[in-house]
Structure 1
Amino acid sequence: MDKEKILDVQDLTKEYQMGEVVVHALRGVNMELYAGEFVVILGPSGSGKSTILNIIGGIDTPTKGKVNYKGTEIGELDEKALTKYRREAIGFVFQFYNLVPNLTARENILLASELSDEAISVDDLLKEIELEDRGNHFPSQLSGGQQQRVAIARAVAKNPAILLCDEPTGALDVTTGIGALKVLRSFNRNYKKTVAIITHNKSIGDMADRVFYVKDGVIEKVVVNEHPMNPEEVNW
């Protein structure tokens, strides 16, 4: 692959002490992400995929191993620099939308855009998620699928290099789930963002450039899709 490597994960291990028992969440994970690619990290519940995402995103630390972002080891950053990394380089999309309930859709997106000097226009984002006419509505006035699209736009608003998505369709039905995936694909293509989705839904892997299969804290295999599907073609 001739794209720019923006993230390099080396020998990532994560252990938790649960009383007298040591839980091995990750057992030496190696992976890389390239600029502008769409990847899926696929595995069952408890496989370690969320732990990978949290460590990549700088909200958890490994027991050992390294995460290099454009040549910088994030484990060596002080708290101020790590906060800057999370604010500028990473966007998060969660299964549950975490929108601020007393802010409108527009205001939720604007809140994130104020974190960046290179923010994407809120109007452009509302158009991208096809909610131009719902920008002044509060989350309680939006459907689940609409709320998730706002959450995705909020994550993209600050113009991060990498968008990390934790089960973004987990709380949605098939139709609204495909709508959310269309937005993620659009941001990936139109804004040249690296998108990484963790999911247990194998079908979503069909639309990825690469699929990382995770089981018992290790990456079992990596599959390259020569012809990724469009979200509308994914068969749930």
Structure 2
Amino acid sequence: MGKLDGKVAVVTGAAQGMGEAHARRLVAEGARVVLTDVNVERGEAIAAELGSNAVFMRHDVASLTEWTAVVGRTEEAFGSITVLVNNAGIIGPITDTVSMSEDDYLAVIAVNQNSQFYGMKAVIPSMIAAGGGSIVNISSTAGMKVAIGSPNLAYVGSKYASRGMTKFVAVEYGPKGIRVNSIHPGFIMTPMMAAATDETGGGIADVVPLRRIGDPDEVSRLVTFLASDESSYISGMEHVIDGALTAS
């Protein structure tokens, strides 16, 4: 038996990096999963590889209308949603606040912050119908501690917003059996991190007390725990996974 047998999940940003790892892990643990992303070719290939318990949908997470479509397709394919992993995110330009354009700021907020609001808004009625569920919002260590070298104001602001929205909804919908937690990864070796830092691990790993960069599946194991009934009394909390980076 898997830890997520009987669960129905939506994972955003599932065509690469941590989102792909989350989707793979959730299916392996018995969940039926709808993977969403704007990368159709890669997303469809992953879903096909995962088999009948996985379906892919093209999805702009910054559109509430498209969120409504995702919920409808998920319920049609698998039934009421019991797990939401709000994983999709972007970094935006590495720039100072004065130099950041309004368009760049709003683009980061739309994907990192607004999408998590839309996701929770769209999915919660399905979870209530199911008798409860678990929402996992992927934030960042940038939502726990501002560090010199953080990419930009919008990125940090959106990650702090994810943390606050998580707590609010956990309190608001706890009586309906819905748990909400945020995960705050540090340096994880994903295509996004590689593109943003032009690093393969050496220089960055030197500042991490564990002296290495994390693997996406290490975060996925935490996602699985929070999605499962093993974490049945854990809600409204931040879960940092960073090799002791923020502790140092």
Do both share a fold (TM > 0.5)?
A: no
Q: Using CA pairs under 8 Å that are at least 6 residues apart, name the structure with larger relative contact order, 1 or 2.
A: 1
Q: Which has the higher helix share?
A: 2
Q: TM-score range by the shorter chain?
A: 0.3 to 0.5
TM-score normalised by length of structure 1: 0.35
TM-score normalised by length of structure 2: 0.34
